[in-house]
Structure 1
Amino acid sequence: MQKGMFNLSHVSAGFTAVLVGYTSSVVIIIQAATAAGATSSQIESWLLALGLAMGFTSIAFSWYFKKPILTAWSTPGAAMLVAAVGQYEVSVVLGAFVISGLLIVLTGLISPLSKALANIPPQLATAMLGAILLSFCVKTFSPVMTDPIIFFCMFAAFLAGKRFLPQYTMAILLLVGIVYSVISGAFDNQNIDLTFARPEWITPSFSIAAMINLSFPLYIITMLSQNLPGIAMMRSHSYEVPVKPLLLGSGLANILFAPIGGFSVNLAAISAAICMNKEVDEDPAQRYRAVIWAGIFYLIAGVWATTVVATFLALPKEVTQILAGLALLGTLLMCFQTAFKEENIRESALYTFLITLSGVTFLGVGSVVWGLVVGLLHLHFIAKKV
C-alpha cells in the first residue's frame, strides 16, 4: 500500500503543488492574455493549453524517468508578457511562443548554446527580472486609495498566512479576495458553471520584432528563472537530472500547444520542492508518484479552465492587483538580493535594472533586451577593467 498510486501523502503533495502554482499566479496569466487582446474564450484556451501541457509533461517525465519532475508555467515570463504584448496581434504573440519553444529545443540539442546561456551572470538576469516584476509589486498598494477595506483585509491575511501557514498563504489570500468579492456583489450578475474549456486554434504568424521583443526575453527568462533553478532543485534533493530530454520535451510541448495559447512549459522549482521532501515518501525513488498526481490535477484544472477564467474575471481590479503583486514579492526580493549582492558587478546590474524598468524602445528593440545587452557590455568592457 505504501508504494501504491493512491498513497494519501502522494495525492496531497501533488494537489498542494498545483494549488500553490495556480493560486500564486493564474491571475497574471489572465492579465497577459488580456493584454494580448485575447477574448474570454481565448483566455480559457490559454489556461486549457497550459493545464494539458503541464499535466502531460509532468506525468510523462516522471513516469518515464521515475523521478519527481514537475513542470509549470513561467510566472516571470507571464509578467514580462503583460507589459510587452500589447502592440502585437494575438497570432503574432502565439508565433513568438513557437519561437521561444524552438529556442528551448535548440538549447537541448546544442551544448554550446546551453553553456552560453548558463554563462549569463545571474546578477544581470535577476536585475532584468526584478525590473519586470517591480511594477506588479508596486501596484499592490494602489487599492489603499480606492478600496482600503479590501486592501487591509487581504494584506492582513497575507501577513498572517506568511506567519502561520506559509505554504498556503496565496490560497488564503485568494479565499479572502473571493469572499470579499461575493459580499461586495461582484458575482451577482456572473454565471459561473463547471463547464469544460474548449481549445481555440489561432494559426501563429511571425515577425522579427516579436521574435526580438517577445520570444528572446521569454526564452531567457524561462531558462534562467525556471529551468536552471528547476534543475538545481532536483540536484539539491540528490536526483540525477536528464537535462537534454527535459529541454527537448518541454520545448516541443511549447511548440505544440502555442497555437491554442500555451506560452511556456518549463521545469518547476519552488512548487516542485513540495513533491521532493521526506514528508511525501521516505523512499526517494517513490516520490515521482506525487508528481504524477500533480499532473492529474493539472489536467483537471485545465479542463475546467472556463470556471477558473470566469471566477478571476469577475474579481474586482483591486483584488487582482493585490493577488498579482503579493504573489511576486518573494521573487522580487530574491532578484534584488542576487542582482546587487556582489560589488564588482553591482553597477552593471543597476544599468540592466534601470534600462529594463524604463520601458524604452529603440530600433524596434524593447527595454528588456536592451537592459540585458547594456549590462553585459558594461560588465565586459568597463566593469572588468576597473
Structure 2
Amino acid sequence: MSQNISTLHHITAGFTAVLVGYTSSVVIILQAATAAGASPAQIESWLLALGVTMGVTSIGFSWYYKMPILTAWSTPGAAILVSSAAEYDMSALIGAFVVSGLMIVITGLVSPLARALQRIPTPLATAMLGAILLPFCVRAFEPAMTTPYAFLWMFLTFIASKRFVPKYTMLLLLVVGCALAFSADSESMSNPELVIAQASWVTPVLNWSAILNISLPLYIVTMLSQNLPGVAMMKSYQYETPVKPVLMGTGIANVLSAPFGGFSVNLAAISAAICMNDDVDSDKSKRYKAVIWAGVFYLIAGLLASVVVSMFLAFPKEITHMLAGFALLGTLMMCLQSAFDSPDYREPALLVLVVTLSGVTILGINATLWGLIVGWLYSFTMKTAKR
C-alpha cells in the first residue's frame, strides 16, 4: 500500500512540474517561434523537439545518477528570440541554436570557461534579462484599453489566485484565457486535432551576426539564469549536481535538436523544486522517480504538440500578451531585485537596463549585448578609479 502511495506521489509531482513549466511559459515559446517566422508546422516541430529533448534528458540523467535532475526549456532564452529573431531567416536562427549548444558543450569540457562565466557580475546579467522581460510585462496591461472585459477577467483571476492559490496562478489564468478565447472564436477552439506531431527539418546556416546577437546572449542567459540557479536549487536540497556531464549532455541534445527547433534545454530550477521536497518521498534517494515521470509527461506533451499549437494560434493576441506578461512578472521582479540590490552595481545595472531597452544596433551588435558591454565597462572603470 505504501509503495502505491509513494508511486502516486512521484506521478503527481512529475505531472505538476511539467504542468507548471508548460502553463507558465508555453505562450512565450509560441511567440518566439512566430517572431522567427515559423509556419504552424514548424512551430509544432519546435514544441515536439523541446518536449522530446526535455523528456529524454530528464529521464536519462535521473535514472543514471539516481538524482532528481529535471531539465526545461529556457524561458528567458525564448524572450530573447521574441525580441531579436525577426531580424534573421530561419536557417540562420537554427545555425545560432547549434552554436549556442556547442558553447554549452565547451563550457562542460573547459572548467576555466565555466568559472569565467560565473565571474560575470550577477546584477549586470539580471539587469540585461530584466530589460528583455520588461516589454512583455508592459504589454500585458495594454489590452485594458482595447479589450477591457477580457483584461478585467484576467487581472481579477491573477489577483485572486495569487491571494489564495499562488502555485496554480498560471493554470487558472490559462483556463480563463481559454474560456475567453473560446467565447471569441468557438469554432477554432472547439476542434483541435488529436494527431502525433511531425518533425520539420531546417538546415542550419552559420551567420556571424546571428551568432553574435542570438547565440551569445542565448548562451549567457541560459547559463546564468537557468543552469547556475538549477545547480543551486539542487544543492539546497543536498544533491550534488554532476555539472560537467549535465552541461555536455544538454549541450549535445541542443545541437541535435536545433534543426527541428530545439533552441535551448537546460537545468530546471523552480519547477525542479516540485520534484525534490519531502512531500514527494520521505526517502531522498527515491525522489528521482518523480523526475522520470516528469520526463514521460514531457514526451507525451511533445508528441501532442499539434493540439497545443492549434489551440494557442487561435488565441486573440491580447490574451496571449496577458498570459505571457503575467507569467513573467515574478521573474522580472527577481531580476530587478537582484540587479539593484548591491550598491556597488546599481549604476552599472541601470546602464545595462537602459541600453538594452533602447534597442540600438551598432556595428552589427544589438542592444542586448551592448547593454552588457557598457555596464561592464562602466563597472570596471569605477572600480579602477576607487583603487
Q: Which residue of 1 aligns with 2:23?
A: 23
Q: Which residue of 1 aligns with 2:44?
A: 44
Within-5 A mapping of 1:1-386: 2=2, 7-188=7-188, 191-386=191-386
Structure 1's 54 and 2: CA in aligned 2 closer, same or farther, altered over 3 A? Answer: farther
- Measured against aligned partners, the alpha-carbon deviations of 1:108-165 in whole angstroms (never above 9, x if no partner) come to 0001100000000100000000000000000000000111111110111111111111
Secondary structure of the residue aligned to 2:30 is helix
Alignment RMSD: 1.3
- Measured against aligned partners, the alpha-carbon deviations of 1:305-324 in whole angstroms (never above 9, x if no partner) come to 00000110001111100000
Query: How far 1:4 sits from its partner (Å)?
Result: 6.7
8 Å CA contact 2:189–2:314 kept in 1: the answer is: no
- Name the stretch that deviates more: 349-358 or 182-191: 182-191
Q: Which amino acid aligns with 1:209?
A: S
8 Å CA contact 1:5–1:289 kept in 2: the answer is: no
Secondary structure of the residue aligned to 1:141 is coil
Structure 1's 322 and 112: CA in aligned 2 closer, same or farther, altered over 3 A? Answer: same
User: Matches of 2:285 and 2:162 in 1, distance apart?
Assistant: 31
8 Å CA contact 1:73–1:264 kept in 2: the answer is: yes
Secondary structure of the residue aligned to 1:7 is helix
User: Matches of 2:309 and 2:6 in 1, distance apart?
Assistant: 30
User: Matches of 2:5 and 2:378 in 1, distance apart?
Assistant: 53
8 Å CA contact 2:150–2:319 kept in 1: the answer is: yes
Q: Which amino acid aligns with 1:219?
A: Y
Structure 1's 310 and 132: CA in aligned 2 closer, same or farther, altered over 3 A? Answer: same
Q: Structure 2 stretches of 5 or more lacking a match?
A: none
Query: How far 1:381 sits from its partner (Å)?
Result: 1.5
User: Matches of 1:340 and 1:304 in 2, distance apart?
Assistant: 42
8 Å CA contact 1:190–1:314 kept in 2: the answer is: no
Q: Which amino acid aligns with 2:278?
A: K
TM-score, normalised relative to structure 2: 0.98
User: Matches of 1:188 and 1:230 in 2, distance apart?
Assistant: 38
Q: Which amino acid aligns with 2:377?
A: L
Structure 1's 262 and 2: CA in aligned 2 closer, same or farther, altered over 3 A? Answer: farther
8 Å CA contact 2:189–2:311 kept in 1: the answer is: no
Q: Structure 1 stretches of 5 or more lacking a match?
A: none
- Measured against aligned partners, the alpha-carbon deviations of 1:267-297 in whole angstroms (never above 9, x if no partner) come to 0000000000000000110100000000000
TM-score, normalised relative to structure 1: 0.98
User: Matches of 1:5 and 1:249 in 2, distance apart?
Assistant: 33
Query: How far 1:167 sits from its partner (Å)?
Result: 1.2
Percent of pairs with identical residues: 61
Q: Which amino acid aligns with 1:303?
A: L
User: Matches of 1:209 and 1:3 in 2, distance apart?
Assistant: 55
User: Matches of 1:4 and 1:104 in 2, distance apart?
Assistant: 39
Structure 1's 239 and 157: CA in aligned 2 closer, same or farther, altered over 3 A? Answer: same
Query: How far 1:72 sits from its partner (Å)?
Result: 0.2
Structure 1's 188 and 112: CA in aligned 2 closer, same or farther, altered over 3 A? Answer: closer
Q: Deviation above 6 Å: which 4+ runs of structure 1?
A: none
Q: Which amino acid aligns with 1:355?
A: V
User: Matches of 1:187 and 1:370 in 2, distance apart?
Assistant: 46
Secondary structure of the residue aligned to 2:276 is coil
Q: Which amino acid aligns with 1:311?
A: M
User: Matches of 2:255 and 2:6 in 1, distance apart?
Assistant: 33
Query: How far 1:344 sits from its partner (Å)?
Result: 1.2
Structure 1's 208 and 4: CA in aligned 2 closer, same or farther, altered over 3 A? Answer: farther
- Name the stretch that deviates more: 52-61 or 178-187: 178-187
8 Å CA contact 2:188–2:314 kept in 1: the answer is: no
Query: How far 1:188 sits from its partner (Å)?
Result: 4.5
Query: How far 1:385 sits from its partner (Å)?
Result: 2.0
Q: How many residues matched?
A: 386
